[in-house]
Amino acid sequence: LKRYVTGLLSEDDMEVVTVEAPPLDVPTGSKGVVVKNLYVSCDPYMRNRMTHHELPSYIPDFVPGEVLENFGVMKVISSGHLDFKAGDLVWGMTGWEEYTVINNPESLFKINHPELPLSYYTGILGMPGLTAYAGFFDVPKPKKGEYVFISGASGAVGQVVGQLAKITGCYVIGSAGYDEKVNLLKSKFGFDDAFNYKKEQDLEAALRRYFPEGIDIYYENVGGKMLDAVLPNMSLGGRIVACGMISQYNLEQPEGVRNLYYIVTKRLRMEGFHVFDYYDRYYRFEEEMAGYLKEEKVSYVEDVVEGLDTAPAALIRLFTGRSVGKQLVAVARE
């Protein structure tokens, strides 16, 4: 990261530099590991860490001049920790670089299904997958037959939420910003319907048309104007999972929500959710989701770019909507 970012993130806010690699053997007595990064993930929350915050957040801000970090899939090259050995495949927090020294390997997860695409551990089998799973099942406690709306529906999280909602027997509609993504939602992920929100003049009216009986569960990924349009369209006693609000991350002034009072009149429950509270359930989740993938009950679409040089542009694709499915960077193919 070159500097703290205000407004829209640009490639110029980041730079790719070449430095000497650290020694690939951990020093004697160290409990750390050295990993080779195979895939690194692009996630919307990274943008929030690029702004300087006066108040502490759930995760520290990035520091200009330092290497960006995020979730990745890695191979252990050398280890001073008893639980890890050279050759192990893991996922967790790492640097946007070719090799990383990780001093707290307890935070890493072992990869138990290397027969599935390893890159999935940045997505459906990693943090976004757990976000979809825990956010959908734990927060609104969905029931068969309920009407579910998902914004940002074709993204890393949304595509999984939609498929889990279909497995649960819900009626599911998603929104996305390009027709190509809308088609994916209907043809690949089995959504009952989907629409391009950029083509709707009046979002509130569009949602009324798609949900004449109201929305029981709204899985919120974008916030802003979409949330405003959703509120009047909720059913009485509906539930909103506040997972993310990507439409606000590049704004210097967040947009106001006009229709907040519907939370009162419709007795809605809107609940903030954070995946960081659910990592203790990860391995159970991994087994269940790996099972769904093997049985072809769910599928996953990724948008993979090659090489760290392309990582800054890839991260920006999240905010221009150019990413189709889970955005990630292949750093090295083993």
The residue ranges that bind ligand NDP (CB under 6 A) are 43-45, 128, 131, 152, 155-158, 176-178, 181, 221-222, 243-247, 273-275, 318-319, 321, 323, 327
Q: Determine the residue with CB nearest ligand NDP.
A: 155
Specify the residue, 229 or 318, whose C-beta has the smaller distance to ligand NDP. 318
Three-state secondary-structure class, residue 197 = helix
Shortest distance in whole angstroms from residue 73 CB to ligand NDP: 16
What span, in angstroms and rounded, lies between the C-alpha atoms of 186 and 183?
A: 5
Q: How far is the CB of 146 from ligand NDP (least distance, A)?
A: 21
Minimum distance, C-beta of residue 162 to ligand NDP, in the bound complex (Å)? 11
**CA-atom Rg of the chain in angstroms:** 20
Shortest spacing between CB 275 and ligand NDP, in angstroms = 3
Residue closer to ligand NDP by CB (options 101, 153) is 153
Please say which residue, 34 or 318, places its beta carbon nearer to ligand NDP. Answer: 318
136 burial level (CB within 10 Å; 0-12, 13-18, 19+): buried
CA dist., res. 229 & res. 231, Å (int): 6
CB of 242 to ligand NDP, least distance (A): 8
Nearest approach in angstroms of CB 104 to ligand NDP is: 20
Question: 3-state DSSP call for residue 57?
Answer: coil
Nearest to 232 by CA among 203, 199, 259, 194: 259
- 148 vs 176, which CB is nearer to ligand NDP? 176
Coil, strand or helix at 70: strand
- The nearer residue to ligand NDP, 248 or 259, going by C-beta atoms, is 248
Closest CB to ligand NDP among residues 33, 318? 318
Contacts 24+ apart (CB under 8 A), 319-324: 319/8, 319/9, 319/44, 319/47, 319/246, 319/249, 319/250, 321/177, 321/178, 323/42, 323/155, 324/154, 324/178, 324/180, 324/181, 324/184
What single letter denotes the amino acid at residue 102? I
Q: At 121, give phi and psi (nearest 5°).
A: -75, -5
Nearer to ligand NDP, 100 or 151 (CB): 151
Cα angle value 43/46/48 (rounded, 5°): 130
Residue 233 CB, nearest distance to ligand NDP (Å)? Answer: 17
Question: How big, in percent rounded to 5, are the helix, strand and coil portions of the chain?
Answer: 30, 25, 45
For ligand NDP, the closer of residues 49 and 166 by Cβ is 49
Give me the least distance between CB of 25 and ligand NDP, in Å please: 35
